[in-house]
Every structure is written in structure tokens, then in C-alpha cells.
């Protein structure tokens, strides 16, 4: 285990060292101490590293991750795991707004609550939130899965494309073109897999599925007068 003191050695040094590791590295295990809410911790990693951040982080922690496993032992500021490609990011506490935004792949697990716009414009990432998500979550979500074990705020899935949303608790309101959909056996299987990967012991049957009514994103000739 390599230990990096962020307060002492600075952010650029951390990200440079982590970027310098390739797939063959034997320095795979890293611990970052004294994060003190700093921005852009462990961004752009592209090797199968395991990074543990010992405390809360600021903006854009673990952004653009490709293949690394990053754990935040605290809460994360805005934009955690933004545009993740693969790998996994675990936040032990809460996550601020737009967690997992635009993510193409990988798994983001938030053990507390996520704030507004969780999974905005997600493009294939899987996001599992143990608690609640705030308003406008999964806005324009294109692909991937968002699992919410608690409640969802206003306008869930507004202008959604083909992402799947699973919510166990209440949904304050659904956004434009987002509807509740039938939970078929294949969805139960997908959800079960996600819950297992996120280490969550919840029953898939307790969740409801939401997705696109597909009325908004295709051009409809009957609406031509509105343009």
C-alpha cells in the first residue's frame, strides 16, 4: 500500500503518480490521506489501481475513471465519478450534485444520499444509491441503470432516453416523458445483479421501474405546428 499525503505533497503530484502507473504496475494499492475537501482527486486514472481516499472530497473526484477502483471514505462534492468509462467508485457518505454525470460505464455506489441531478445524461454507467436522490436525477439519461433504494426527488428521469431507473421508495414527481413501466423477469435479474455488485441486501421485488415513454425524443409529425 502506497500512502500519499495530499496536504503535504499537493494534488498535481498525486494525479501524476497515479497516471504514471500502467497495467503492469505492481504499485496497485494507494491510500490518499488529508483530502480536506480538495478538488479533482484521482481523476483520469486508466490503470487497474485501487485508491482509497481517507476523508471527504471536493469537486470532480474520480472523474473520467477507466478501470480503477476508487473509494471515498467520506462524502464527495459535486460531479463525483463524472464521465466514468469503467471500473468502480464507492462513496461511503453522501454525494453532492450531478454524481456520475455523463458516465459511459463502470459502477458508482453511493452509500449515503445523492443530491440533485444524479446520473444526469448518463450513457451506460450503473449507479446504485443506498439512500435518496435529489431533483432532476437521470435528466436526459441515455443508457445504463440508476438504482435508488430510498426516495427520488422532483422530475425524475426528465427527457429520458433508454436508461433504466429502479426506485424502492417514493418518487416525488416524474419528469417529462418518464413513466412507470412493468417490472418483467429480465429487469428483476438486472436489478438483482446490480444489488449484488453494490453489496446491498435489498429485494428486487420491492422496486418499481421507470423509463422513457418514447414520445419526446422522436420527431412526431403531429407536433410540426409547434416548431
Partner 1 sequence: MCGIVGLFLKDKELEPKLGEMLTQMLTTMSDRGPDSAGIAIYGRGKRGKAKLTVQSDQPDQDLGDLAPELGQAIGTEVGIRRVDTHAVLELAAAKVHAARKAVRELRPGIRVMSDGEVIEIYKEVGLPKDVADRFDLSRMEGTHGIGHTRMATESAVTTEGAHPYSTGADQCLVHNGSLSNHNDLRRKLMRKGARIESMNDTEVGAAYLTWKMQNGASLGEALDSSLEDLDGFFTFVVGTKDGFGVLRDPIACKPAVMGETSQYVAFGSEYRALVSLPGIEDASVWEPEPATVYFWSH
CB 163 within 8 Å of CB 140:
no
Q: Which is nearer to partner 1, 36 or 215 (CB)?
A: 36
CA angle 19, 3, 8 (to 5 degrees): 90
Name the minimum Å distance from CB 38 to partner 1.
7
Q: Which is nearer to partner 1, 38 or 69 (CB)?
A: 38
Q: Which is nearer to partner 1, 74 or 157 (CB)?
A: 74
Among 163, 149, 55, 191, which residue's Cα sits nearest to residue 103?
A: 163
CA distance 6 to 61: 13
User: Which residues of this protein are in contact with partner 1, per CB under 8 A?
Assistant: 36-38, 56, 58-59, 75, 77-78, 93-94, 96-97, 115-116, 134-135
Name the minimum Å distance from CB 116 to partner 1.
6
Name the minimum Å distance from CB 169 to partner 1.
16
Name the minimum Å distance from CB 112 to partner 1.
10
Q: Which is nearer to partner 1, 21 or 97 (CB)?
A: 97
DSSP element (H, E) containing 180: strand 178-181
Q: Which is nearer to partner 1, 139 or 207 (CB)?
A: 139
Name the minimum Å distance from CB 210 to partner 1.
21
Distances in Å between the Cα of 2 and the Cα atoms of 5, 18, 205 are 10, 11, 42
- Ranges assigned E (strand) in the chain: 2-5, 29-33, 50-53, 66-72, 86-91, 107-110, 123-129, 143-148, 164-167, 178-181, 208-212
Residues β-bridged to residue 109:
90, 128
Amino acid at each position: 500500500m502506497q500512502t500519499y499525503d495530499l496536504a503535504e505533497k499537493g494534488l498535481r503530484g498525486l494525479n501524476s503518480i497515479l497516471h504514471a502507473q500502467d497495467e503492469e504496475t505492481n504499485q496497485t494499492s494507494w491510500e490518499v490521506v488529508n483530502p480536506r475537501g480538495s478538488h479533482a482527486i484521482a481523476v483520469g486514472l486508466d490503470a487497474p489501481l485501487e485508491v482509497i481516499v481517507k476523508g471527504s472530497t471536493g469537486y470532480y473526484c474520480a472523474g473520467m475513471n477507466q478501470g480503477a477502483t476508487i473509494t471515498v471514505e467520506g462524502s464527495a462534492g459535486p460531479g463525483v465519478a463524472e464521465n466514468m468509462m469503467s471500473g468502480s467508485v464507492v462513496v461511503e457518505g453522501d454525494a453532492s450534485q450531478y454524481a456520475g454525470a455523463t458516465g459511459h460505464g463502470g459502477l458508482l455506489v453511493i452509500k449515503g444520499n445523492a443530491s440533485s441531478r444524479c446520473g444526469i445524461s448518463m450513457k451506460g454507467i450503473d449507479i446504485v444509491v443506498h439512500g435518496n436522490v435529489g431533483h432532476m436525477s437521470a435528466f436526459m439519461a441515455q443508457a445504463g441503470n440508476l438504482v435508488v433504494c430510498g426516495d427520488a426527488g422532483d422530475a425524475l428521469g426528465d427527457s429520458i432516453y433508454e436508461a433504466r431507473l429502479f426506485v424502492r421508495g417514493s418518487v416525488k414527481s416524474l419528469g417529462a416523458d418518464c413513466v412507470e413501466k412493468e417490472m418483467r423477469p429480465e429487469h428483476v435479474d438486472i436489478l438483482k445483479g446490480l444489488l449484488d455488485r453494490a453489496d446491498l441486501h435489498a429485494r428486487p421485488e420491492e422496486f418499481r421501474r421507470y423509463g422513457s415513454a418514447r414520445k419526446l425524443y422522436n420527431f412526431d409529425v403531429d407536433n410540426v405546428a409547434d416548431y
